[in-house]
Amino acid sequence: MSHELQFYIDGAWVVPSTPALLDIIDPSTEEAFAKVAMGDKADVDKAVAAARRAFTGFGVSSVAERLDLLKRIVDVYKKRSNDLALAISREMGAPRQFAAAAQVPAGLSHLEKIIEVLPDFEFRRAKGSNLVVREPIGVVGMITPWNWPLNQITGKVAPALAAGCTMVLKPSEVTPLDAIIFAEIMDEAGVPKGVFNLVNGDGPTVGRAIAAHPDIDMVSFTGSTRAGIQVAKTAADTVKRVHQELGGKSANILFPDVDLGVAVAKGVAGCFGNSGQTCTAPTRMLVPRDRHDEAAGHAKAAAEKFVVGPADAPETRLGPVANWLQYEKIQALIESGIAEGARLVAGGPGRPAGLNRGYHVRPTVFADVTPNMRIAREEIFGPVLSIIPYDTIEHAIELANDTVYGLASYIQAKDMEAARAAAAHMRTGGVYINYPVWDVGLPFGGYKQSGNGREFAEYGLEEFLELKAIAGYAAA
């Protein structure tokens, strides 16, 4: 049975309180291919009540019980991997191969990592005659985005389950289908009723109801900085914990000693991956001023190798962006780069040649970008790279830090001592030297307006726990 017209609440698939449907658009064709139910405050109230009841038992469950549950979820997740990949490819436009090789495994990685972390995690620690314990925070509201949907769902659900929390998930209304399959996975894995609940809906309705709800103890939000501010303001009245992973405008400093052709090509690939829809994408490439034009030439060559097309075409390397609003925003920013005097090296406004429908963006590179331009300051969330010249490494670090964001930064250098020294000055939650392999065992999160709190592994688990001091616990 299909569950697109239902929500998962208290261990059962239920109909919405009020009938309301939303078309799900295939960004490769701009055509609706499915409908999902949209929730309201009444649906959130039901889900929160179920989670609150379930917390009574699940909050005191043993580590062994939670570990066994997570392992069962992994088994079912693997069985449904193909279904998840097809759903993500269709609803957000990720190329089929990329959805199967990157999007779905990203979600699995958080489940597997928390299984690795949980057995040795210290929930109780003696301190003299006293005891310090970490206990689950309670009911968690989760609001997740459309760009890496499963990565963000499991990046919250896995540590919350490991902590002993219960939860209500609102996935993005752009990509609800993979979340519905995920709820089916949770159900088949035998998650106790009420522990995991799913309510689809939009931010102003369901998202706001979650953030404001007095019986929700914590909101974990991933999305834009603008939306994150609204969540925090709404949550403030009930003094709940607000965990946020927000926007980014990552700099990529290419040191003078790098092989420029290799470094630029890797930087372009990093910027354009997932059609540029990654919060950590290295969108500002900082290059030595005397090699600026050379870097621009390499970037042009690299950009022109990207094959743009519909998600189901085998040769597609760059799928469409996820929705019309995002497409329009990207187009406006490309136009602003031209109007403000940046030099267009590759791509530009409009769709690529031969594509007359779908939210396809031309792989775009700007050179001669100055720090005050919109394309250098605003998060574009599309395949658009800005090349900015620097005079010294100190100047490059200053440029890199000159942003309201602080999620990630990148350094490419042969001189590792110099790279490590530069990393110490980067005001970002993550610094990536020479394109390391992605590691979900590291903490993930940002400085400044890129959010607060951390995700991944034990660092994410800690976010879902409260500290309790029991004084005199071991006293005679």
Question: What residues contact residue 408 under an 8 Å CB cut-off, 6+ apart?
Answer: 248, 250, 279, 280, 282, 428, 429, 430, 431, 432, 446
- Mind telling me the catalytic residues? 245, 279
Contact 436, 232 (CB under 8 A): no
Which of 269, 268, 258, 304 has its CA nearest to residue 387?
268
Q: Are 166 and 55 in contact (CB under 8 A)?
A: yes
Residue in the block written with tokens 């689950």: 136
Burial class (CB in 10 A: 0-12, 13-18, 19+), 374: middle
- Whether 375 and 339 have beta carbons less than 8 Å apart is answered as no
